[in-house]
A and B are shown apart, each in its own frame.
Chain A
């Protein structure tokens, strides 16, 4: 079965740049999506189609891809960005949708 791999945790100080990676064999052909989940809340889409930002998402959130890796970058991370982040994509057939295991971002 297809898997997306994320680091379990990332930690930065306020104002620093946080980078969260997601690796998967199909990412060169299939777009990545990123979701933010704060404690006790439903996930929220922060990046779609690799690098597009939905309306209402701060400009400090950006996405990029290179080969089999997608990266979510939070430039000038703020305390309120502390959350779990999940990548999402599909396998090369397009039939199987998967989430990465999630990355806990700590900002302190």
Chain B
């Protein structure tokens, strides 16, 4: 059964770059059946899809975050990485990594990692 684990700094300063890594176990990130991506949730608020990527680099980005986000895959390490530039306090959230399966409405996340809280503060 595939498992996903997020890792990275829990505190980032305003204007800097948030960098997170998702390590995948129990399944290959090189499978053509899936995409991999990130979703975030500000404290006490709802879910926001950020971006998704497959092993060949085909990527979908949220329109509202596209200018600040970069997603990449490392198939040798079975990892997906997220970089979010020029962060502000509004980027404070729990960041979830998820596998996206190919569905009737495109791609949908399942399962999810346990999430990691990233706080933007000086």
* Interchain CA distance A44-B15 in the complex, whole Å: 33
Q: Report the nearest A residue to B37, measured CB to CB.
A: A97
Asked if B110 and A45 make an inter-chain contact with CB atoms under 8 angstroms apart, the answer reads yes
Closest beta carbon of chain A to B11's beta carbon, Å: 20
Determine if B90 is an interface residue (Cβ-Cβ < 8 Å).
Answer: no
Asked if A42 and B112 make an inter-chain contact with CB atoms under 8 angstroms apart, the answer reads yes
Interface size on B, residues (CB 8 A): 24
Asked if A42 and B60 make an inter-chain contact with CB atoms under 8 angstroms apart, the answer reads no
Determine if A66 is an interface residue (Cβ-Cβ < 8 Å).
Answer: no
Asked if B110 and A101 make an inter-chain contact with CB atoms under 8 angstroms apart, the answer reads no
Determine if A63 is an interface residue (Cβ-Cβ < 8 Å).
Answer: no
Asked if B103 and A48 make an inter-chain contact with CB atoms under 8 angstroms apart, the answer reads yes
Asked if B104 and A31 make an inter-chain contact with CB atoms under 8 angstroms apart, the answer reads yes
Asked if A96 and B114 make an inter-chain contact with CB atoms under 8 angstroms apart, the answer reads no
- Inter-chain CB contacts under 8 Å: number: 70
Residue of A31, A35, A37 touching B103 (CB-CB under 8 A): A31
Asked if A97 and B103 make an inter-chain contact with CB atoms under 8 angstroms apart, the answer reads no
Which A22-64 residues sit within 8 Å CB-CB of chain B? 30-33, 35, 37, 41-45, 48-50, 54
Q: How many A residues touch the partner, as a band?
A: 20 to 34
A86 and B64 contact, Cβ closer than 8 Å, known pairs A30-B105, A32-B105:
no
Query: Which residues from A are CB-within-8-Å of B112?
Result: 42-44
* Interchain CA distance A42-B105 in the complex, whole Å: 22
Given contact pairs A33-B103, A97-B49, A99-B48, a sample of 20 additional A-B residue pairs in the complex whose CB atoms are under 8 Å apart: A1-B63, A1-B64, A30-B104, A32-B105, A33-B105, A35-B47, A42-B96, A42-B111, A42-B114, A43-B47, A44-B110, A45-B108, A50-B104, A54-B110, A89-B105, A97-B106, A97-B107, A99-B46, A99-B49, A102-B47
* 14 A–B contacts, CB within 8 A, in A order: A1-B63, A37-B47, A42-B112, A44-B110, A45-B108, A45-B109, A45-B111, A86-B47, A88-B47, A89-B105, A96-B63, A97-B60, A99-B48, A102-B46
